[in-house]
Amino acid sequence: MGRLLLLIVLLVGLGAVPAQADMLSGLTKAQRAETLRFAINNSLFTLYHEVGHLLIDKLKLPMLGREEDAADNIATWLLLQKGTPDANRTLEDAAKGWKMTGMLYGDNYDEDDYAFGYTPDRFRSLQIVCLMVGADRSAFRPVANAFSLEPDRQRSCHFDYGVVDRSLRALLDNAGSGTKVDVHYHDGGRRLRLAERILRQSGIFDDVAEEVRRGYKLDGRVKFTARGCGEPNAFYDPDAAEVIFCYELVEDFLNVYVDDLPARTRPRN
């Protein structure tokens, strides 16, 4: 289903969600569509990021840096291989999402943050953009300019993308097909009903699971589980070979975008 048609279907379907649980109430139809697109696209990038962890684990991929950075690079590369407007917009929204969360938390880090296994959000944002412009400078120069990536850096991103592309093609081109994947949605309950419905009706969870089925031959059975976790998160459990996506993360993406709307257009409580 095309992304525009998908958003129209979601806008109609979400009319059945109680207004008190619908954080999109009070927005114009265009704003609701933009917010949904942002949340769906950031959720999709996150799913590919967790698939990156899955592939690193099950295929025993060599890794010479932080695994979180490698998973981001895998997610970005996989989306770039699609070469579609929807995939490109997903990458742009993901880069915007990391930039927005970096600004939201003030980009303030202490020694523990720098020693942790996660790269600062603003760097993750610009790394996505760098790989985009490195893959196709003429197509993605406007995106790189919008993110204030300096021209010299834009040119050198060609080498960054080349290393990622060469490495992943060598590792994944003969990955086989036929992984056994089970997909399960837990009931989100009344509080998480909106997030559950968005994830279900968007189809992205099932689509990524199907890509794993068809695109790789992984030992054992892989599980894709959507559920409430008590926090906005997504993660890969190597012991269970399970990609877990938390409904709260969909809510978080919605909130980040709505909170960034100009004050005069935000819904009133």
Look over the chain and give the mean of its residue pLDDT values, rounded to a whole number: 89
Neighbours of 65 (CB within 10 A): 9
Q: What is the mean pLDDT of residues 37-43?
A: 97
Question: What is the widest separation between alpha-carbon atoms in the chain?
Answer: 53
Helices and strands: H and E segment counts in the chain: 11, 4
Top mean pLDDT of 2-6, 94-98, 102-106 is at 94-98
pLDDT tens readout for residues 69-89: 999 999 999 999 999 999 999
Distance CA 159, CA 136 (A): 12
- Per-residue pLDDT for 12 more than 50? yes
Q: In Å, how far are 45, 53, 56, 223 from 67, measured between CA atoms?
A: 16, 7, 8, 21
Three-class secondary structure of residue 227 per DSSP: strand
Token pair for 217 = 């031959």
Tell me the whole-structure pTM to 2 decimals.
0.90
- Per-residue pLDDT for 210 more than 90? yes
Confirm if 243 and 225 have CB atoms less than 8 A apart: yes
* 29 or 112: which leads in pLDDT: 29
pLDDT of residue 152: 96
